[in-house]
Amino acid sequence: MDIITLGLPDLAAARRFYVDGLGWNPIFEVPGDIVFLQIGHGLVLGLWHADEMERDIDPNAPARPATGPVPMTLAHNVGSDAEVGEVLARAEQAGGTVLKAAQRGEVGFVHGFFADPAGFRWEVAHNPGWVINADGTVSIEPAEPAAVEQVDNAG
């Protein structure tokens, strides 16, 4: 996958949050229209007007609410338990909302959630079992080995 595009009711508010607030650097921008932020290896987060995004798919698309939580989360792993709280605090200072304070979750690692001004939700986690290998593949070592099952990936 290459791009995640968020459809926003207020592009300027989103830009203030992600660029001015969190300090993420645009790699490409059409002022007032679209902002692209690098968020991973070959991975870009697009900020775009919700109505234009809908019209790009279907010119006759009915208007829909573009605020509030959507059935999706984005996740960012950090390097320590303490950093989870630090990132949540920074998001709050930038105008976001902390939905779940840093705490040890059911699966055994420390995490928390914040929402951006439009309601898109980010998980911030310190999961030592989440390993990105040199070739970019991910290995997951469960915190509770007895409760989960590693799938044979050879097929």
Q: Which residues bind its own copies (CB under 8 A)?
A: 1-8, 25-31, 36, 38-46, 50, 53, 56-58, 64-66, 69-77, 99-100, 105-106, 113, 118, 120-121, 123, 130, 132, 136-140, 147-151, 153, 155
| Dihedral (CA of 71, 118, 43, 87) sign | negative
Question: What are φ and ψ of residue 85, in 5° steps?
Answer: -65, -35
Yes or no: say if 68 and 62 are a contact pair by the CB < 8 Å rule: no
Q: How far is the CB of 152 from its own copies (least distance, A)?
A: 10
Could you tell me which of 58, 57, 51 has the C-alpha nearest to residue 33?
Answer: 51
Of 40 and 108, the one with the shorter C-beta distance to its own copies is: 40
Yes or no: say if 35 and 26 are a contact pair by the CB < 8 Å rule: yes
Q: How far is the CB of 139 from its own copies (least distance, A)?
A: 7
Of 17 and 113, the one with the shorter C-beta distance to its own copies is: 113
